[in-house]
Amino acid sequence: MSVTDFLIANWFLSIPFLILIFLYVRAFAKRGGQRISVHEATSLINEGAQVIDVRESDEFDVGHITGAKNIPNNDIERRSNEIISEKPIILTCALGQNSPSAGEKLQEQGFKDIYIISGGLTTWAETGLPLVTD
């Protein structure tokens, strides 16, 4: 019996299982904020969004988005008072994997309008967008 045959024969088990998988993936994808492309991020930045880079300071110093504030992920709760709650927040890290946990911490503190750059600064640089050093 193939997998397809099993799923068809046991549709009453298969459908709820597939729904649960869909809901889990959907919830995981929104963890910590809405994922956006680098182009969407540049539009939000041009409209006044603030960029928070959650990498460690030595990584930040090598290159970051113009105007970004460096608040390492481990310090995000303690330094959240440095973030303007009324403005959209764009979180970024090297690959887009650490930003969601920072976003969750900010959401727990009541911050809204949190966005995460898909692929992080790696994708930003690959797209040809500039990184600066201060």
How far is 66 from 133, CA to CA, in rounded Å? Answer: 8
First to last CA, the chain: 63
Q: Decide if 93 is catalytic.
A: yes
Catalytic residue among 93, 114, 116, 117: 93
Q: Look at residues 104, 121, 114, 62 and name the one whose alpha carbon lies nearest to residue 83.
A: 114
Query: Cβ(93)–Cβ(122) under 8 Å?
Result: no
Listing DSSP states for 26-59 in one string gives HHHHTTTSEEE-HHHHHHHHHTT-EEEE-S-HHH
How far is 54 from 47, CA to CA, in rounded Å? Answer: 21
Please identify every residue annotated as catalytic.
93
